[in-house]
Structure 1
Amino acid sequence: MEDITVEELKERLDNKESFAFLDVREEWEYEEDNLGANNIPLSQLPNALGELEEYKDQELIVHCRSGARSGNAKKFLETKGFTKVRNVLGGIMAYRELEEE
């Protein structure tokens, strides 16, 4: 599935759309700043698949700091049968830059 831009994500968050949203950064990063997504660090993802099972055939938007870890999370989830995973390009850094414009 196609990745998502921070512009599209911001629009969807501003419109209070309901979607599965996952932050794969470490807990301390999440506590520092977050967009309200569920936090499951990338290293814990293999053990947390049960928590995400309901989203297997739904759009699941994944983000991290810059888009690298969430890209890895997307690849991993796709190997586990998740069909609609979208990576936030540029991560939370790009999202915060967009807000400053």
Structure 2
Amino acid sequence: MDITVEELKERLEKGEDLHFYDVREEHEYEEDNLGAILIPLGELPDHLDELEAIKDEEIIIHCRSGARSGKAARYLESQGFSNVRNVLGGILAYRELED
């Protein structure tokens, strides 16, 4: 299931405690980030153990445009995660809201 940047922004502004992950590369994250936890897409399989505890909770994933986070969401779903949400349009769309 996807989440819009508008919904994400609203929830971040409210200070909601989210399981929020960024699957871009480290250099992209250092350039600009939304405060999500960085797990680059290629390293996601190595982090399944630490994510196991939140397997049935909502997990929100974003990247630059939504493509990598879509792959990450599908991967997690294939591993039994039941509530993974991909941020549509990624950080590019999110930043457009702020202009």
Fold equivalence (TM over 0.5): yes
**CA RMSD, Structure 1 to Structure 2 (Å):** 0.6
Q: Distance in 2 between matches of 1:94 and 1:51?
A: 29
Query: Hey, what does 1:14 align to over in structure 2?
Result: 13
Structure 1 unmatched ranges of 5 or more? none
Count of aligned residue pairs for this structure pair: 99
CA shift, 1:97, in A, is 0.4
Q: Give 5+ residue unaligned stretches, structure 2.
A: none
Moved over 6 A (4+): none
TM-score relative to the length of structure 1: 0.96
Residues of 1 paired with 2:7 and 2:13: CA distance? Answer: 10
Partner of 1:32: 31
For residue 64 of structure 1, report the CA deviation from its aligned partner: 0.1
**Can you list the C-alpha shifts for 1:6-52, whole angstroms capped at 9, x where unaligned?**
00000000000011000000011000000000000000001111121
Of 42-51 and 5-14, more deviation after overlay is shown by: 42-51
TM-score, structure 2 normalization: 0.98
Q: Measure, in 2, the Cα distance between the counterparts of 1:22 and 1:69.
A: 12
Aligned counterpart, 1:48:
47
